[in-house]
């Protein structure tokens, strides 16, 4: 009685081809996620959050860079108010600052609001 070979050439080509296809799909999805991620992640983004501080349980003060101006906003549930518009930058641009590569920075970039579940 002849038993079929478990690792014949055709079977190995099929398995390796499937593995290559799955790896290409994963890399393609990673590329698309980075390409179309929300927010301006590049250095040429015209709108960026420079700093943020919590002033209550649901209220925040946010320093925003919009073009060449820096705007201080008060953010509460259901409302956003302009507190002050700075003609001169009060905080240096963080887009040109060196990026942190430690675990906390990576986790913060994945969950930018810092909320815990």
pLDDT tens-digit profile of 51-109? 889 998 999 999 998 888 899 999 999 999 999 998 887 766 555 555 666 777 777 77
Alpha-carbon distance of 30 to 37, in angstroms, equals: 10
pLDDT tens-digit profile of 5-29? 667 888 889 999 999 999 999 999 9
The whole-number pLDDT of residue 96 equals 56
**Coil vs helix vs strand at 83:** strand
The whole-number pLDDT of residue 97 equals 57
User: Is-contact 43 51, C-beta < 8 A?
Assistant: no
Alpha-carbon distance of 110 to 38, in angstroms, equals: 11
1 Cα distance to chain centroid = 59
* Cβ-Cβ contacts under 8 Å for 26 (sequence gap 6 or more): none
């Amino acid at each position: 009685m002849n038993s079929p070979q478990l690792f014949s050439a055709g079977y190995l080509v099929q398995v390796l081809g499937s593995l290559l296809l799955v790896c290409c799909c994963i890399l393609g999805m990673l590329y698309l996620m980075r390409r179309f991620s929300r927010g301006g992640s590049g250095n040429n983004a015209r709108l960026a959050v420079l700093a943020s501080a919590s002033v209550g349980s649901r209220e925040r003060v946010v320093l925003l860079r919009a073009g060449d101006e820096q705007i201080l906003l008060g953010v509460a549930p259901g409302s956003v108010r302009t507190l002050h518009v700075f003609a001169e930058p009060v905080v240096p641009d963080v887009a040109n600052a060196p990026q942190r590569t430690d675990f906390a920075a990576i986790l913060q970039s994945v969950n930018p609001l810092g909320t815990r579940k």
